[in-house]
Amino acid sequence: MKQPGTERTPSRTRNVPFREKSELSPADPTGPRFRIEDIYPCVDCGQYPVKRICGDSVEVWADIFREGHDTIDAALLWRLETETAWRREPMLLHGNNRWHGCFTPSEPGSYLFAIETWTDEFATWRKELLLKQQNGQDISLDAREGRDLLSELMPREDRARLAVKTAIGNFDTTNDARALLGDELLTAMACIDNRPDLSRSRAIPLVAERERARCGAWYEMVPRSQSSVPGRHGTFDDCIGRVPDIAALGFDVLYLTPIHPIGHTNRKGRNNSLNLTSDDPGSFYAIGNEFGGHDAVHPELGTLDNFRRLVATCREHDMEIALDFAVQCSPDHPWVKQHPEWFRFRPNGTIRFAENPPKKYEDIVNPDFTCADRIALWEALRNVILFWCEQGVRIFRVDNPHTKPFPFWEWLIAETRRVHPDVIFLSEAFTRPKIMKALAKIGFSQSYTYFTWRTQKHELQEYLSEITGHPERDYFRPNFFVTTPDILPLQLQSGEPWMFKSRAALAATLSSNYGIYNGFELIEHEPIPGREEYLNSEKYEIRTRDWDKPGNIKGYIRQLNMARRKNAALRQTSNLRFLTVDDDNVIGFIKESADGTNAIAAAIALTGSPHEFWLHFGDALIGPDGARQPVRSVKNLSTGERRQIEWNGVRLRIDPAGDPAHLFQCYA
Amino acid sequence: MKQPGTERTPSRTRNVPFREKSELSPADPTGPRFRIEDIYPCVDCGQYPVKRICGDSVEVWADIFREGHDTIDAALLWRLETETAWRREPMLLHGNNRWHGCFTPSEPGSYLFAIETWTDEFATWRKELLLKQQNGQDISLDAREGRDLLSELMPREDRARLAVKTAIGNFDTTNDARALLGDELLTAMACIDNRPDLSRSRAIPLVAERERARCGAWYEMVPRSQSSVPGRHGTFDDCIGRVPDIAALGFDVLYLTPIHPIGHTNRKGRNNSLNLTSDDPGSFYAIGNEFGGHDAVHPELGTLDNFRRLVATCREHDMEIALDFAVQCSPDHPWVKQHPEWFRFRPNGTIRFAENPPKKYEDIVNPDFTCADRIALWEALRNVILFWCEQGVRIFRVDNPHTKPFPFWEWLIAETRRVHPDVIFLSEAFTRPKIMKALAKIGFSQSYTYFTWRTQKHELQEYLSEITGHPERDYFRPNFFVTTPDILPLQLQSGEPWMFKSRAALAATLSSNYGIYNGFELIEHEPIPGREEYLNSEKYEIRTRDWDKPGNIKGYIRQLNMARRKNAALRQTSNLRFLTVDDDNVIGFIKESADGTNAIAAAIALTGSPHEFWLHFGDALIGPDGARQPVRSVKNLSTGERRQIEWNGVRLRIDPAGDPAHLFQCYA
């Protein structure tokens, strides 16, 4: 039946195709009708991937709108970068043009997500018709238009098609608008293919890593110092012997300083001295000699087989090995002979040693990342990583990445993850903040931080607020080390056990990734006078220790690690709020798991005298979305003592001589 | 003389070319060495142009860094989009890897700017050599390397080349490093062409407009109401007669409601009634009849010649005309017959009137911006703008842009500016915030705002903080209207003169663009009961007024406009800080010109009773960069009274019955 006047209806061109600005032409300047703005999460306009953990829901937000008052709809698209087909999730309007949707990547890898939006013409028609009807206006023409719209947009899917055809049939028989207003039609029309004005945002990259990238307690160990016999060079077998004890302390990652053959040329003596005695083992950062380079093990440590056994033993104890990836070479490294073009030579024909004037590093040479043969060099370094991956290693702590070109790391990490998407890289860059952040953006899973030197309450609060805030929280994962072989910070040099405990507690609870360097648990604290470095550093000599030396704080560290294992709130970093404490030498905070089922409050003393103070919870709410409540009571994780919240807080006493850190389970 | 060992020096490939990520290949993954991040100003990652005023310095900031410790340098490049060659300005390190540079676009137009950065190998060499020398290290090899570097990087420019050759000659003769350390060499090496590691940021778009885009006092006038004879239809000649008086009040822009022929079909009667009497003139927003459409003038107003004379008269009085661009058509518009395909028809053959259910606009029809023939429609609308440009108009106030597709406006504004870069567009979108902001991003020079409904101190402070903050300040220029033909806000409905003055003072001093609608100066205030609309609105009838009616506040408005003309601080909006006032019904703020030579403080009463209060200057500093000082005294702009600042503030008394707004010149 021909409708009067329809011959004048111009053919409708609803599907203004999505086009980028650069594709517009004077002949047809019609760009996308929709704006999709302020997409969250997104790092540097999508230049770098957002970081997330697989299994966690990725919450996506965006402002989505077009002109006018039409009803619109939107969907969240996502896929692995290597896939071609998008998966789709619904998006819902949250309010004020802001929409929300989520997806959960299940395996580690590089993902993309994007947002699609379109005009829902049928819903628009329905909304307007109902408004007119409520207002008593004549809707007969509108009903006819709805019928034509249904017929024009006809879904392809069988059930939906049937529902629409039935409705049209009913309307044609009865001429009653009610035939077009059933809920089944809304459902049917939600799945049409020719979505009017379809616009798509650009794709935002996201890297999903395994949970260890977000959370791990690291134990840094110098393998050659693990022998129990004074003076004997430690071996991988000695390390294997140490694994059960370290695992029992609750550590997740056993991080080994470099295990490769050590150079002879300009080998450093004790305390970084240039005067060598014949039995000095040299710095393990001077990598490479006649026994091999980065893909070899130092013969005195054992064989590759021994190493693989260490890897396996760790796995049996729910730990894993992290290796140290230090690019520099000893002048005796095989590459220096095999690929002299990878290094720089001076006008007198000598190789150029590493230096940062006026400092000199005579026992190492740096490859030239921009040399003519750089591609071969980059590939050789990548092959080192892949070699260790084949030995079962999946975590690399990278030494001084900030002195090598950013594009190298971006490429190396991507190349590694193409083969092994579960590899974790930790950036050991102690440098200016923007450079540390840039390394995180280009792919490092975790980063060393300034924590080691942040001791005052306001410093800690400011620094944590920065790295857990936006945009840092989406790409920068801190790993708080209390000490490293290079750094014995001032606050630990007096060797007060309460301070060692306080620093361990701060690191273990403020950051879900934290680490100690072997000897910390024994309160080792003797510095080179006037410097923040260890005297008799085992970087230059072999140490033998009694790992159960009286006065050790292993029990305390074990307790911290167990609290972390039991409480998801402590296994993440970003969800952190500082609490008010009426004592400037006590820091208070609350952390909560993403699902809101676990909340831990902490009060940690920063000075050694006893403290009595109020811990105020302010307006902090806990619990799952939609059911968030104030904290009503807390239970001390060590003592089990339960306290009611009064006046919005709790009065506490900390005697750091006993335990400088009180941790509480929070109840709503 | 051949150097020993140089045969082993690999050929250096310093100039890793700048490549986009998409250009990297497995064969050579070497991307740009530098990071150029957080470029300011930049709107939505450079998707939309930054807005600036020509003649003003554009201050550009960016984080610039590469790996390692080498000395780097950077330059700011800029050009008109239509030019091919970049102009260059120096950039300087401000600190913490943040660099700064500036450029000044001199003419209105679309510009691009970008940042280039490179490694300064010679400066790096020099810095390291000096450090080693200070440390007593042997520098003979380093000196030789510096000599070779100079020879390799040899500048092309004659004077620089001579300086370098002389230095090399001196060194070769004396073997003394001092020959390579002269300042003239640093200068010479600053201009080399083969800049190592040269990286360039992407280009950021920027639109420079003329000053009127940033600052103007608008007088909105209904031309047909300008006759001095009651009942007679006003003409362009009547408008011309009004110009000297309006110009004397200090207005910059004379904005006319639509001047086009008015439709007959469904013409609206008084107060938007559907019952028409034969002499009702109809709404001037129902555009088009047998006398023409958007490029015609309503015959009762006069001829196009009369209009052009009005344009010229304004120009003689340092004012300019703004026209109202309202896309909708009366059903009698010539386009409806000539291009029925531009409109939508209903199943019964009738044209689809505008509606926003349940509201109906029976006297207008909207063209369909997505119709099959849309390109012709868009071009016809563009030609309307160009037609009025040819009549001397350079400002368009656009009616309801938020109900037309964004790509249309983006295209229309760009198309217009391609021919007339000095055209200003004001967006009259009273809708949700993100849509208003999106219209500003895609090109509107100025925007209507929520000011009309912001009456409380905290509301005004929040709203101003939002639109003068980041990122809004870089693309959103407010124009504060106290009233419009559509809006008589509640606070003005009691007709208290102090409130009219207070609102005018707020608009004129908080925003550098502001406007009043004719009748405001006469305290017109009669609403449709219960609504924020004028009773007997001249949208539907002709009004005749005594423009010098007793009780008018023309003198007050003149005084405000003169204060704006004399004080650059009031001719900009972003440079605004709120001051503390110990009275919640008085708002205080300070504004300062970009060069720091003019600072104005204001205290404005928001309620009608007398107020005594402290205006606190807090830590506000004024004056040029590098010489900023606290405010030490203030001078009342009306009374000339000078007051010293005591206890960081000044005690004031405002009696709104006299003047609700006190403005002060500030002195350091």
Inter-residue contact A200 to A86 (CB < 8 Å): no
B156 burial level (CB within 10 Å; 0-12, 13-18, 19+): exposed
The residue-averaged pLDDT of B485-491 equals 97
The pair of structure tokens assigned to A486 is: 């290079």
Does the pLDDT at position B603 exceed 70? yes
Q: What is the pLDDT of residue A7?
A: 36
Q: State the catalytic residue, choosing from B428, B472, B521, B538.
A: B428
Inter-residue contact B71 to B124 (CB < 8 Å): yes
Task: Please give the full DSSP string across A218-236, using - where no structure is assigned.
Answer: EEEE-GGG--SSTTSPP-H
Q: What percent of chain A has pLDDT over 90?
A: 91
Q: Which residues of A touch B69 (CB under 8 A)?
A: 356, 403
Q: What percent of chain B has pLDDT over 90?
A: 91
The residue-averaged pLDDT of B242-246 equals 98
CB atoms inside a 10 Å sphere around CB A274: 11
Q: What share of chain A is helix, strand, coil (3-state, %, to 5)?
A: 30, 25, 40
Q: What is the pLDDT of residue A13?
A: 45
Let me know if A332 is a catalytic residue: no
Inter-residue contact B99 to B91 (CB < 8 Å): yes
Does the pLDDT at position A490 exceed 50? yes
The residue-averaged pLDDT of A290-306 equals 98
Taking only the tens place, the pLDDT of each residue in A302-328 is: 999 999 999 999 999 999 999 999 999
Q: What is the pLDDT of residue A10?
A: 35
Does the pLDDT at position B28 exceed 80? no
Q: What is the pLDDT of residue A1?
A: 34
For B454-515, give the secondary structure using H, E and C: CCCHHHHHHHHHHHHCCCHHHCCCECEECCECCECCHHHCCCCHHHHHHHHHHHHHHCCEEE
Taking only the tens place, the pLDDT of each residue in A457-476 is: 999 999 999 999 999 999 99
CB atoms inside a 10 Å sphere around CB B551: 8
Q: How far is B282 from chain A (nearest CA, A)?
A: 24
Q: How confident is the model at residue B15 (pLDDT cuts 50, 70, 90)?
A: very low
Inter-residue contact A629 to A668 (CB < 8 Å): yes
The residue-averaged pLDDT of A426-454 equals 97
Inter-residue contact B518 to B219 (CB < 8 Å): yes
Inter-residue contact B585 to B605 (CB < 8 Å): yes
- Classify strands B611-616 and B649-654 as parallel, antiparallel or unpaired: antiparallel
Q: Which residues of A touch B68 (CB under 8 A)?
A: 402-404
Q: Which residues of A touch B132 (CB under 8 A)?
A: 357-358
Taking only the tens place, the pLDDT of each residue in B425-456 is: 999 999 999 999 999 999 999 999 999 999 99
What is the rounded distance in angstroms from the CA atom of residue B325 to the CA atom of residue B425?
9
Does the pLDDT at position A296 exceed 90? yes
Query: In this complex, which of A28, A132, A432 lies closest to B357 when CB atoms are compared?
Result: A132
Q: How confident is the model at residue A274 (pLDDT cuts 50, 70, 90)?
A: confident
- Asked if B292 reaches chain A (Cβ–Cβ under 8 Å), the answer is no
Q: What is the pLDDT of residue A191?
A: 81
Bond preceding residue A401 cis, omega within 30 of 0: no
The pair of structure tokens assigned to A559 is: 């307790």
Q: What is each CA distance from A592 to A205, A572, A601, in whole angstroms?
A: 27, 8, 9
Q: How far is A139 from chain B (nearest CA, A)?
A: 11
Taking only the tens place, the pLDDT of each residue in B104-123 is: 999 999 999 999 999 999 99
Cα B193 from chain centre = 38
Q: What is each CA distance from B465 to A651, B282, B393, B475, in whole angstroms?
A: 39, 41, 33, 15
Taking only the tens place, the pLDDT of each residue in A393-422 is: 999 999 999 999 999 999 999 999 999 999
Taking only the tens place, the pLDDT of each residue in B336-347 is: 999 999 999 999
Q: What is the pLDDT of residue A190?
A: 85
ipTM of the complex: 0.94
- Asked if B356 reaches chain A (Cβ–Cβ under 8 Å), the answer is yes
- Asked if B132 reaches chain A (Cβ–Cβ under 8 Å), the answer is yes
Q: What is the pLDDT of residue A21?
A: 60
- Classify strands A586-592 and A599-605 as parallel, antiparallel or unpaired: antiparallel
B421: Cα within 13 Å, side-chain hemisphere? 18
Chain mean pLDDT for chain B? 94
A291 burial level (CB within 10 Å; 0-12, 13-18, 19+): middle
What is the rounded distance in angstroms from the CA atom of residue B231 to the CA atom of residue B657?
35
A471 burial level (CB within 10 Å; 0-12, 13-18, 19+): middle
The pair of structure tokens assigned to B223 is: 């031309």
Question: Phi, psi (5° rounding) for residue B38?
Answer: 50, 50
The one-letter amino acid at B133 = Q
Residue holding tokens 């404005």? B604
Q: Which residues of A touch B340 (CB under 8 A)?
A: 8, 10
What is the rounded distance in angstroms from the CA atom of residue B388 to the CA atom of residue A299?
87
Q: What is the pLDDT of residue A18?
A: 52
The pair of structure tokens assigned to A565 is: 């294992």
Does the pLDDT at position A236 exceed 80? yes
Range with the lowest mean pLDDT among A190-194, A481-485, B366-370? A190-194
What is the rounded distance in angstroms from the CA atom of residue B490 to the CA atom of residue B509?
21
Q: What is the pLDDT of residue A12?
A: 44
Q: What is the pLDDT of residue B638?
A: 96
Q: Select from A45, A73, A48, A42 the least CA-distant residue to A60.
A: A42
Kindly report the CA angle at A272 between A271 and A274, in degrees rounded to 5? Answer: 115
Q: What is the pLDDT of residue B24?
A: 67
Question: Phi, psi (5° rounding) for residue B314?
Answer: -55, -45
Collapse the DSSP code of B423 into the 3-class scheme (helix H, G, I; strand E, B; otherwise coil) and give the result: coil
Kindly report the CA angle at B438 between B435 and B441, in degrees rounded to 5? Answer: 160
Inter-residue contact B588 to B632 (CB < 8 Å): no
* Number of residues that this document lists for chain A: 668
Q: What is the pLDDT of residue A14?
A: 46
Q: What is the pLDDT of residue B23?
A: 67
Closest residue on chain B to A21 (Cα): B47
Taking only the tens place, the pLDDT of each residue in A110-148 is: 999 999 999 999 999 999 999 999 999 999 999 999 999
The residue-averaged pLDDT of A594-622 equals 96
C-alpha radius of gyration, chain A, whole number: 31
Q: Would you call B32 and A438 a contact, using CB atoms and an 8 Å cutoff?
A: no
Q: What is the pLDDT of residue A29?
A: 75
What is the rounded distance in angstroms from the CA atom of residue A519 to the CA atom of residue A554?
10
Q: Would you call B347 and A141 a contact, using CB atoms and an 8 Å cutoff?
A: yes
Collapse the DSSP code of A211 into the 3-class scheme (helix H, G, I; strand E, B; otherwise coil) and give the result: helix
Taking only the tens place, the pLDDT of each residue in A58-110 is: 999 999 999 999 999 999 999 999 999 999 999 999 999 999 999 999 999 99
Q: What is each CA distance from A470 to A329, A400, A466, A475, B180, in whole angstroms?
A: 38, 26, 8, 9, 48
Q: Select from B79, B89, B142 the least CA-distant residue to B112.
A: B79
Inter-residue contact A426 to A444 (CB < 8 Å): yes
Question: Phi, psi (5° rounding) for residue B336?
Answer: -65, -40
Q: How far is B589 from chain A (nearest CA, A)?
A: 30
Q: State the catalytic residue, choosing from A363, A428, A541, A659.
A: A428
Q: What is the pLDDT of residue B305?
A: 98
Taking only the tens place, the pLDDT of each residue in A172-229 is: 999 999 999 999 999 999 888 878 889 999 999 999 999 999 999 999 999 999 999 9
- Classify strands B642-644 and B621-622 as parallel, antiparallel or unpaired: unpaired
C-alpha radius of gyration, chain B, whole number: 31
Bond preceding residue B358 cis, omega within 30 of 0: yes
The one-letter amino acid at A167 = A
Q: How confident is the model at residue B19 (pLDDT cuts 50, 70, 90)?
A: low
What is the rounded distance in angstroms from the CA atom of residue B18 to the CA atom of residue B34?
9
- Asked if B68 reaches chain A (Cβ–Cβ under 8 Å), the answer is yes
- Give the helix ranges, DSSP H, for A391-523: 406-419, 433-441, 457-468, 497-510
Taking only the tens place, the pLDDT of each residue in B181-193 is: 999 999 999 888 8
Q: What is the pLDDT of residue B266?
A: 95
Does the pLDDT at position B539 exceed 60? yes
Taking only the tens place, the pLDDT of each residue in A654-666 is: 999 999 999 999 9
Q: How confident is the model at residue A4 (pLDDT cuts 50, 70, 90)?
A: very low
- Asked if B202 reaches chain A (Cβ–Cβ under 8 Å), the answer is no
Does the pLDDT at position B31 exceed 90? no
Q: How confident is the model at residue B14 (pLDDT cuts 50, 70, 90)?
A: very low
Q: What is the pLDDT of residue B27?
A: 66
Q: State the catalytic residue, choosing from B399, B472, B474, B583.
A: B399
Q: Specify the pTM.
A: 0.94
Q: How confident is the model at residue B334 (pLDDT cuts 50, 70, 90)?
A: very high
Q: What is the pLDDT of residue B231?
A: 87
The residue-averaged pLDDT of A338-358 equals 95
The one-letter amino acid at B225 = S
Residue holding tokens 């029309």? A189
Let me know if A399 is a catalytic residue: yes
Q: Select from B78, B96, B95 the least CA-distant residue to B87.
A: B78
Q: What is the pLDDT of residue A15?
A: 47
